Structure 1
Amino acid sequence: MPPGLGAWPARRRLVSPAKTALVHGDGATTTYRQLADGADDAAAVLGGLGVGRGTAVAYLGENSPEFLQVLFGVARLGAVFVPVNTRLAPAEIAHVLTDSGARVLVHDPEFASVAAGAPVTHTVGTADVRRAALPRPGPVEVTMDDPAAILYTSGTTGRAKGAVLTHGNLTWVALNCVVDYDVVSTDVALMISPLFHVASLGMGALPVLLKGGTLVLEKGFEPGRALAAIARHGVTMLSGVPTTYQLMADHPKWASTDLSTLAKLTCGGSPVPARIRDAYERRGLSFSQGYGMTETAPGATALPAAMTRAKPGSVGLPHFFTDVRIAGPGGEPVPPGTVGEVEVAGPNVFPGYHGLPDATTEAFTADGWFRSGDLGYLDEDGYLFIAGRLKDMIISGGENIYPAEVEVLLAEIDGVTGAAVIGVPDERWGEVPWAIVSVRPGATVDTDSVRAFLDGRVARYKLPRHVVIVPDLPRTASGKVRKAELRARYG
């Protein structure tokens, strides 16, 4: 078998054919033999449509066995998998399909109307990729440097860019997770985040399948259903963002749900607020937190659960096979405790953006490190702390304000369910910080109470000049706040 993702199901079919790979729907199961057979069928169907080495194949659908079978079938052909965010507007979906050059779109039945107008040569329903009678193609020579997928960035500013991830990128990030999160073959991972999101795919599904564990696939997140699934299936692993964990802890069934099998909780997107951390610790559960981006497939750092209290606010140490450094304004190295741009290197770092050579060149330093665009610092022990995005930094009266520093504290306020800090033009100071927050129904949060809570915790020039209460913060599929939208609305 050639190297690459396409060989994974076939290897698992040899090693653990009867083991349950997937749980889906209302309890249906798919074994590793069935997963591999489904990937073979998908490869046969797509190969019959002319899909081969380098062909882009898009997938529009929610978490399902077919999503993974098509992914592996595409990889087996040496083609390139393009997962499409189902929450995108039709024009945004068209951009992904056109920009990636996808020739085929595989889709769930509920997206048939969208697929009908898609700018592709062929559209295939998920039911039609399971044709076991078709002859299965032989192995295609694939190297670890060949592209395996194109995943589109969240598009918080401008049009989304396609990050090309190689077979090596996705393999190494899976190995990083196996090492740093201690993934084992007996793990049962509940997938509450969509697989078209790079964190769910690269750090959730692939490491578990690599180790021969079991994935419980959810088509969407609903806190009560997630709690029920944990108890029903003996879930050991769960990944999410602070909002999902908070919604579960706030659910009426939280206290009565059996969580005794849960052993590994990972959280990304932003640091876990202390009140959420405390709620889970009261149930005997601790979080591993991390940091990454699409371009690093996506993991860059991980904070062990045992260090959550010792390093509050940190996103951890570099993953085992990854390196992180901090660069000053001129690209020079800076000492511990100094804020600069976070740069990442390692075999999980992507080779570049699809069809955008200039953007690719700008994304890397002369010595090959990826420039994240994020601001952060390393402490004396090498733990990374994120201060915010370079473009989000607020300069007020000559002082730098890093929004993430204030947002972490805002999340501690009783009643606040989400927070974002943006810069608003000011004649005297140039910019002043405003806080945009969502609150729990019935909670009382206003400018005075927020400023009073923060006073003494941060410098006074960092105190929000005004607090705007909104029903919900606009977010990407990965849970990140769309600050460009907030700046356009309030800035």
Structure 2
Amino acid sequence: MTLDLPAAIRATVSGGGADDALAFGGRWRSWDWVRDIASKLDAALGDAHTVGLVARNRPQHIAAFAATLMAQRTTSMIYAAQRPAGIAADIATLRLPAIIADAEDWTPEALAAARSVGSQAIAIGDGSVEALAPRGPGPFREPMPDIGLELLSSGTTGAPRRSGLPWSTIAGAVAGTKSAYAGTSEVSAPQVMVHPLGNIAGLAYAVPPLVWRQRLVILERFDPLAWAEAVRDHRPSRGTVPPAGVRMLLDSDIPTEWLSSLSLVAVGGGKLDEALQVAFENRFGIPALPAFGATEFGGVIANWTLDAYRRFGAEKRGSAGMPSPGATLRIVDRDTGIALPPGEVGLLEAQVERIGPDFVRTNDFASLDADGFLFLHGRADGAINRGGFKIVPDQVAATLREHPAIADAAVVGIDDVRLGEVPVAAIELRRGRSADAGALKDWLKDRLVAYQVPVDFRIVDALPRNASMKVSLPEVKALFQ
């Protein structure tokens, strides 16, 4: 039977209660607290069919998310991790009836953008709801009643874009959290949320507690000590960290007994290095189970279960696991589209029941072994995986070329101990012009999301090119070695 997601959340939230719901900053908020925020927002939003949420990992944002979902409003996520000008640009482009944001994100630029398109501006705080600007006449974007969420995609199936997830897909993804990430049907066990609310991994943590009335411990961002303290204090049965977090935990002095409640740690958002996996398991005595998914698929499509780990863990090191329930995977030749036999590397395609009947091609080189385990072999499009956030180099380079001093640019990823990969840029200047790294970073921060901004720049007389006059990316990368 398909889950009626809005009704399930409405039943949880409207029931209220003095029992613990959301922990943040060392303090619990009750279900009464969640109901109060959600009720005030619901009344303020009125007949708004679509709401933009400048998403942060804070209790009031979870309550706001509950308010939009339970009323079956479409929620369009806006990255908070960008400059005020970027948030303002998103607000102006989306043209939605209402925007909800933390008080600190309602900068003059954001408020001016909301007023310019008639979007109602609502500020939320830890227990507060305040209307900053009324809704104007619009015109607003047309409603999409079948779409529950709009997220900026990770870029797995192409350049990042705003993807609409139908209500049925979200309901299927919520059910899937029982076997992927750290979801559990044991509602007495809390979850510790470290993934951003605005992406698909974060939603896998935010939505199930609202359905199952489960306690949720919220961290604004992954910090190894804060995460370990949360596990020690709240004793969840399962946990999750990004691949970069595995290395950070290994580099820390965290006592192993702090993590003793965990039966497993799921690792999503990027490929987990085999040596790191072994080192983590040897030190903490906890299985580290990789998973693979994307916004376009509504969540995880391949993962390890504990049973599979006990049978194949040592033999299948480096695998992202087997197809998740409801997912069918295949590997095809990049040029012909013909399905390849086990062990051969090609492009990954997935058919996911919660999305639809068709196979969707990704830009991931992968292989499936004879037992059906998925192995990832890098990106066909050269995308950079920065701690789980995927960056398309051509998009960053195209933005750089808009700078008046830059004639051409190339962006590549280089290895990073903490994040796996980070973007860097080589730049060819226009004749007679100059630029410095600090100024370029500031300029880009007004035009890109924070994680897309290169960490280093090389200004060269001419970009290295091959015989076909195409930029030689290996030579660009060599500039940073």
Tell me if both proteins adopt one fold, taking TM over 0.5 as the criterion.
yes
| CA-to-aligned-CA distance 1:166-224 (integer Å, 9 cap, x gap) | 111111112112145661212221112221122121x2222344333221011223222
User: Partner of 2:201 in structure 1?
Assistant: 199
User: Partner of 1:454 in structure 2?
Assistant: none
Structure 1 residues 205 and 265: alpha-carbon distance in aligned structure 2, compared to 1, 3 A threshold? farther
Distance 1:481 1:388 in 2: 21
Structure 1 residues 324 and 217: alpha-carbon distance in aligned structure 2, compared to 1, 3 A threshold? same
Distance 1:482 1:5 in 2: 40
| CA-to-aligned-CA distance 1:95-131 (integer Å, 9 cap, x gap) | 5334433232211122121532334522110149956
Mapping of residues 338-377 of structure 1, within 5 Å: 338-349=344-355, 368-377=358-367
Structure 1 residues 226 and 371: alpha-carbon distance in aligned structure 2, compared to 1, 3 A threshold? same
User: Partner of 2:100 in structure 1?
Assistant: 106
Conservation of the 8 A alpha-carbon contact between 2:191 and 2:238:
yes
User: Partner of 2:416 in structure 1?
Assistant: 438
Which among 312, 322, 328 is matched to residue 327 of structure 2?
322
Answering whether residue 227 of structure 2 is matched by residue 233 of structure 1, we say no
Distance 1:28 1:37 in 2: 15
Conservation of the 8 A alpha-carbon contact between 2:9 and 2:70:
no
User: Partner of 1:264 in structure 2?
Assistant: 264
Give the residue type in structure 1 aligned to 2:415: V
C-alpha displacement at 1:309, in angstroms? 2.4
Conservation of the 8 A alpha-carbon contact between 1:61 and 1:111:
no
C-alpha displacement at 1:438, in angstroms? 2.9
Distance 1:345 1:481 in 2: 33
Mapping of residues 257-406 of structure 1, within 5 Å: 258-281=258-281, 282-305=283-306, 306=309, 307-328=312-333, 329-349=335-355, 368-392=358-382
- SS at the partner of 1:200? helix
Give the residue type in structure 2 aligned to 1:381: D
Give the residue type in structure 2 aligned to 1:189: Q
Structure 1 residues 388 and 96: alpha-carbon distance in aligned structure 2, compared to 1, 3 A threshold? farther
Give the residue type in structure 1 aligned to 2:302: T
Mapping of residues 76-87 of structure 1, within 5 Å: 76-87=70-81
User: Partner of 1:462 in structure 2?
Assistant: none
Answering whether residue 62 of structure 2 is matched by residue 68 of structure 1, we say yes
User: Partner of 1:189 in structure 2?
Assistant: 191
Give the residue type in structure 1 aligned to 2:177: C
Mapping of residues 217-232 of structure 1, within 5 Å: 217-232=218-233
C-alpha displacement at 1:164, in angstroms? 0.2
Distance 1:123 1:264 in 2: 42
- SS at the partner of 2:262? coil
Distance 1:182 1:125 in 2: 31
Structure 1 residues 284 and 16: alpha-carbon distance in aligned structure 2, compared to 1, 3 A threshold? farther
Conservation of the 8 A alpha-carbon contact between 1:266 and 1:289:
yes
Give the residue type in structure 2 aligned to 1:216: V
TM-score (norm 2): 0.70
Conservation of the 8 A alpha-carbon contact between 1:187 and 1:208:
no
TM-score (norm 1): 0.69
- SS at the partner of 2:227? helix
C-alpha displacement at 1:390, in angstroms? 1.9
Structure 1 residues 378 and 18: alpha-carbon distance in aligned structure 2, compared to 1, 3 A threshold? farther
Distance 1:75 1:223 in 2: 31
C-alpha displacement at 1:341, in angstroms? 1.8
Distance 1:258 1:229 in 2: 9
Conservation of the 8 A alpha-carbon contact between 1:187 and 1:214:
yes
Conservation of the 8 A alpha-carbon contact between 1:241 and 1:479:
no
Distance 1:131 1:246 in 2: 39
Which among 124, 127, 137 is matched to residue 126 of structure 1?
124
User: Partner of 2:138 in structure 1?
Assistant: none
User: Partner of 2:425 in structure 1?
Assistant: none
C-alpha displacement at 1:301, in angstroms? 0.8
Distance 1:155 1:213 in 2: 31
Distance 1:247 1:288 in 2: 17
- SS at the partner of 1:301? strand
User: Partner of 2:434 in structure 1?
Assistant: none
C-alpha displacement at 1:482, in angstroms? 8.0
User: Partner of 1:146 in structure 2?
Assistant: 146
Distance 1:481 1:312 in 2: 33
- SS at the partner of 1:316? strand
Structure 1 residues 10 and 269: alpha-carbon distance in aligned structure 2, compared to 1, 3 A threshold? closer
Structure 1 residues 8 and 480: alpha-carbon distance in aligned structure 2, compared to 1, 3 A threshold? farther
For structure 2, which runs of at least 5 residues remain unmatched after alignment?
131-143, 394-411, 419-443, 459-472
Conservation of the 8 A alpha-carbon contact between 1:277 and 1:287:
yes
RMSD of aligned C-alpha atoms? 4.1
For structure 1, which runs of at least 5 residues remain unmatched after alignment?
133-143, 352-366, 394-402, 412-419, 423-433, 441-473
Structure 1 residues 60 and 337: alpha-carbon distance in aligned structure 2, compared to 1, 3 A threshold? same
Distance 2:413 2:66 in 1: 44
Structure 1 residues 237 and 99: alpha-carbon distance in aligned structure 2, compared to 1, 3 A threshold? farther
Residues matched between the structures, number: 390
C-alpha displacement at 1:479, in angstroms? 8.3
Distance 2:166 2:258 in 1: 40
C-alpha displacement at 1:346, in angstroms? 2.2
| CA-to-aligned-CA distance 1:111-154 (integer Å, 9 cap, x gap) | 1215323345221101499569xxxxxxxxxxx98101100124
Which among 46, 51, 68 is matched to residue 48 of structure 2?
51
Indicate the percent of aligned positions where both proteins have the same amino acid. 23
Structure 1 residues 96 and 370: alpha-carbon distance in aligned structure 2, compared to 1, 3 A threshold? farther
Conservation of the 8 A alpha-carbon contact between 1:107 and 1:125:
yes
Give the residue type in structure 1 aligned to 2:66: F
Structure 1 residues 105 and 129: alpha-carbon distance in aligned structure 2, compared to 1, 3 A threshold? farther
